[in-house]
Amino acid sequence: MPRLLAPPPPLLLLLVLHLGCCSCESVFPWDNASIAVQPCVLSKDWDLIIRQLSGSRPQSDQQLQTGGLGQLASRGSAAYGNGIYRVTSSGDYSDGTEYAWSAFDFISNSTTINFWTTYTHSYYSFSTGQYVRYPPTVTSTGISCAGEWLQISLPVSIYLYKYELYTRANNLFRGPKRFWILGSNDGSTWSVVDYQEGVTGYTSAGKSFVVEPTQKYSYYRIVVNENNKENWVSISWWKLWGAEIQGHETLLYPPAPLSAPTSTISSAAYGNGIYRVTSSGDYSDGTEYAWSAFDFISNSTTINFWTTYTHSYYSFSTGQYVRYPPTVTSTGISCAGEWLQISLPVSIYLYKYELYTRANNLFRGPKRFWILGSNDGSTWSVVDYQEGVTGYTRAGKSFVVEPTHKYSYYRIVVNENNKENWVSISWWKLWGVETAQDFLRLTRKRRAVEY
């Protein structure tokens, strides 16, 4: 049965790590141990696996303002990327509540803390959003990059393929408008990885940017030269996607937020077409729709999630499905439970998925469930099965799949929750590939290191 990946200890990073083929014996830190990798073992593909990290708080505001030693966190039990992570900045907000490492705590839409904010209101102009600190903070990269900065040091070097930026949910003007993404392997000599200007219109869904990397780095820094007309810059979440070796990654479906039961995506880099979201029934007051599970909002507390139709379908004392007669999806076996379904415009091999539930009622998260696949919406096959899934957090739950077929319909059928009357799904993320060539490549990479 595919594995449920347990959340590691503390600081957040989103990576795809591909451990490359070697010509001689090499060592990679794995679960705090040195494991020898045999010569020419093919690479491993941990596609877009999410892990949460957090750091201890600094000793003083002065340490924050000057960058100090930064925030350290050690990872030793993750499926990849174990080691020490350090988060620093040009200065954190002076009241000592909005730390640099909060940009990696997996909370994307906070309104009070849980984000990084620059040190003081005098660094950016409220009327223009431009950087006005004097003397300015400058990072030299061959060109001078002036602006307050946020930085993470990784225990491995990666090619950065994509990143996302979220700002303070109740003050979206703090989002970076003009900025550089810089890379380094020593924290001193920097190169420009990406440059953006005119980035406006921040929402709770954040902003996503695709990079074409030429080098890999273990340090990444964002330098913000202009915001959207505010005195501060705030970053609630800086997501990083990368790989240790260059190559194709799995893709997120749908590639953009959905806003209706039937949504058409036409300007994405992939996956364009019509997406349809249905369910066995949405919450009866008409506010918690099936398509909300694909609106790219993961931690809502009021709406922006799908909830089953009524309180009488699941037992509050056990979480088990008690609707009679039950809703059953036939797959050769009978899968009883309320369900959520998405129809894609393309067929994909599903390699990974994630589940988020209602942020202020985590007991609504699925505990026992099936993931089903179909190419006609009628004949179903079991893609994955999980039971005993407990301990939901805002970081969600991540599952890796070993696909054998590709499908254009995916359905989750929930037979049991964590002792609540309803099931709620805030975001159901699906990662996959469309082509047989990518399927074979990823399958070879996974199986080569099943030691």
Percent composition of the chain: helix, strand, coil (DSSP 3-state, to 5)? 10, 45, 50
C-alpha span between 217 and 387 (Å, rounded): 39
% residues pLDDT > 70 (the chain): 77
Checking if the pLDDT of 171 tops 90, the result is: yes
Higher model confidence: residue 379 or residue 25? 379
Which pLDDT does position 4 carry in this prediction? 35
pLDDT over 80 (residue 34): no
CB-based contact 253:406 (threshold 8 Å): no
Q: What integer is the mean pLDDT of 177-202? A: 96
Identify residue 197 by its one-letter amino acid code: E
Whether pLDDT at 140 is above 50:
yes
* Span of 226-240, 279-293, 310-324, 354-368 with lowest mean pLDDT: 279-293
pLDDT at position 252 is 87
Tokens of residue 247, six digits: 């190559």
Report the pLDDT value the prediction gives residue 73, as an integer from 0 to 100.
Answer: 58
Nearest Cα neighbor of 392 from 52, 47, 125 is 52
- Which of these ranges, 39-43, 153-157, 278-282, has the smallest mean pLDDT? 39-43
Show Cβ contacts of residue 178 under 8 Å, excluding neighbours closer than 6 positions. 196, 197, 198, 199, 224, 225, 226
For residues 277 and 45, the model is more confident at: 277
Question: Looking at the predicted structure, is the pLDDT value of residue 79 above 80?
Answer: no
pTM above 0.85, yes or no: no
CA-to-CA separations, 76 to 31, 71, 81, 450, in angstroms, rounded: 5, 17, 9, 19
The tokens describing 201, both together, are: 């219109």
Residue 269 scores a pLDDT above 70: yes
Tell whether the model's pLDDT for residue 128 goes beyond 60. yes
301 pLDDT above the threshold of 60: yes
Between β-strands 144-146 and 33-37, what pairing exists: parallel, antiparallel or unpaired?
unpaired
- Encoding tokens for residue 385? 């099965």
Give residue 439's pLDDT: 64
**Distance between CA 78 and CA 16 in Å, rounded?**
13
Using left for φ > 0, alpha for ψ between -120 and 50, and beta otherwise, residue 421 falls in alpha
Decide: 340 and 327 in contact? Cβ < 8 Å: no
Q: Domains of the chain, with CATH numbers?
A: 8-243 (2.60.120.260), 252-438 (2.60.120.260)
DSSP codes joined into one string, 336-396? ESEEEEEEEEEEEEEEEEEEE--TT-GGGSEEEEEEEEESSSSS-EEEEEE-------TT-
Q: Which two tokens stand for residue 226?
A: 């202009």
Query: What tokens appear for 2 in the block?
Result: 């595919």
Query: What integer is the mean pLDDT of 164-169?
Result: 94
Other C-beta atoms lying within 10 Å of the C-beta of residue 26? 15
Question: Would you state the pLDDT for residue 326?
Answer: 85
40 pLDDT above the threshold of 60? no
The mean of the pLDDT values for the chain is 79
* Averaged pLDDT, 255-272: 90
Name the region of 330 (left: φ>0; alpha: ψ -120 to 50; beta: rest).
beta
